[in-house]
A = this chain, B = another copy of it.
Amino acid sequence: MIRCNNDYSRGAHPAILKALEEINETSFGGYGTDEICETARKDIAKYLDCPNAEIHFVVGGTQANVLMIEAALTRKYHGVICANSGHINVHESGSIENTGHKLLALPAVDGKLSAEQIADEAEAFRSSPLQEHICEPKAVYISFPTEYGTIYSKKELREIRAVCDEYKLHLIIDGARMSYGLASERNDLTLADICDMADIFYIGGTKCGLLFGEAVVITNDEIKVGFRNYMKLYGALLAKGWLLGLQFHVMFADGLYFDIAKDAVEYAEIIKYECLKKGLAPYVVSDTNQLFYVMSKEMIAKLEEDFFFEVMDPVDNKYNIIRFCTSWSTTREEAEALADAISML
């Protein structure tokens, strides 16, 4: 069986295990105050072009999202605008509401929000005579890439940033699959661009070649206040913090983070091309390593003989949405095997 169901089904890039072994006998200070974390912060900072950015390492994506939103929303009547398909709205079991904040979920198109939608929501609050009775939008949460593998263009992101400036909203970017977004052929954004436009965002590790770990980057001074205290409060201050720092060091010292995602995205294109030839209907036209198609139950059953992939919501009695997902650990052989299987459906 070949796994094409997600990008977190294998351990880590070999360079990470090797580095772990090399420092296993060395002792360090706890909770991310060590010298390896410091080095890793510098490694990442090279790509940010923002001397003022503050970097923290946490274990997982739900933690990162909870912390980013908690830090950006200082009052409990603050809500966060998000796509109705956003991870925080559909796949975190209510973790944001558990912090007391309301999600102001807007209907997304292909997983994306438009600047106009955001402006309308913010304007509705600004012009309301009932501001004390409704939840105040204080931040916007988007994902790069989105849940559906699509990406925002530089132009789109600039427009969203302008709306955030106009309405004093913090821009929060969930970069769980950041490397795949940056590696997309259709991408025109750099990490520095994202850092320039977001108030707080995270660079995903778990789905991008690390054993685990995400790097939260804060550019807005207000949001920096007490971030480590929040990390402790939410159980996200890892005792052996250097385990996180080391992994990010391996990935960012020489750009490995960017290289391995390029392969994943290329392999996704191989599969995509075969789907196109086969005439399969894309559910969303993805830009990255996740592919969404509408497929008949027969085809699904056939493919499931040799491949793991995600069978999502039914479209009707005969068809389902499915997701293929390549990753940093996918090999060209695996991608070609899936492409072949599709061609023979």
- CB within 8 Å of B: which residues of A? 3, 6, 8-12, 14, 17, 20-21, 23-31, 59-63, 66, 70, 74-77, 79, 90-95, 97-103, 130-136, 206-207, 211-212, 225-226, 228-240, 243, 329
- B66 with A94: CB separation less than 8 A: no
Q: Are A93 and B77 in contact (CB under 8 A)?
A: yes
Chain B proximity of A266: nearest CB distance (Å): 20
Taking a contact as CB atoms under 8 Å apart, the answer to whether A132 and B212 are in contact is no
Contact across chains for B101 and A100 when beta carbons are under 8 A apart: no
Known A27-B3, A27-B10, A100-B98; judge A62-B232 contact (CB<8 A).
yes
Compute how far the CA of A96 lies from the CA of B130 in the bound complex, rounded to whole angstroms: 18
- Other than the known A79-B97, A99-B100, what 12 A-B pairs have Cβ atoms closer than 8 Å? A6-B30, A9-B27, A9-B28, A70-B76, A75-B225, A75-B226, A92-B233, A93-B134, A102-B103, A132-B231, A132-B237, A211-B243
Q: Are A97 and B92 in contact (CB under 8 A)?
A: no
A243/B212 in contact, CB under 8 A: yes
Residue of B9, B31, B102, B239 near A30 (CB, 8 A) is B9
12 pairs across A/B with beta carbons < 8 Å? A3-B27, A9-B29, A10-B25, A59-B238, A77-B229, A77-B232, A94-B102, A94-B233, A95-B235, A97-B100, A136-B226, A234-B234
Q: Bound complex: CA of A27 vs CA of B309, how far in Å? A: 13
In the complex the two chains form, what is the Cα distance from A93 to B237 in whole Å?
11
Given contacts A76-B98, A211-B243, contact A132 B60 (CB under 8 A): no
Q: A6-B30, A17-B24, A24-B17 are in contact. Are A233 and B93 (CB under 8 A)?
A: yes
Cβ distance A93 to chain B, nearest Cβ, rounded Å: 4
**A24 and B12 form a contact (CB under 8 A):** yes
CA A229 to CA B10, docked complex, whole Å: 23
**Assuming A31-B132, A74-B75, is B235 touching A236 (CB within 8 A)?**
yes
CB pair A135–B24 under 8 Å, yes or no, is no
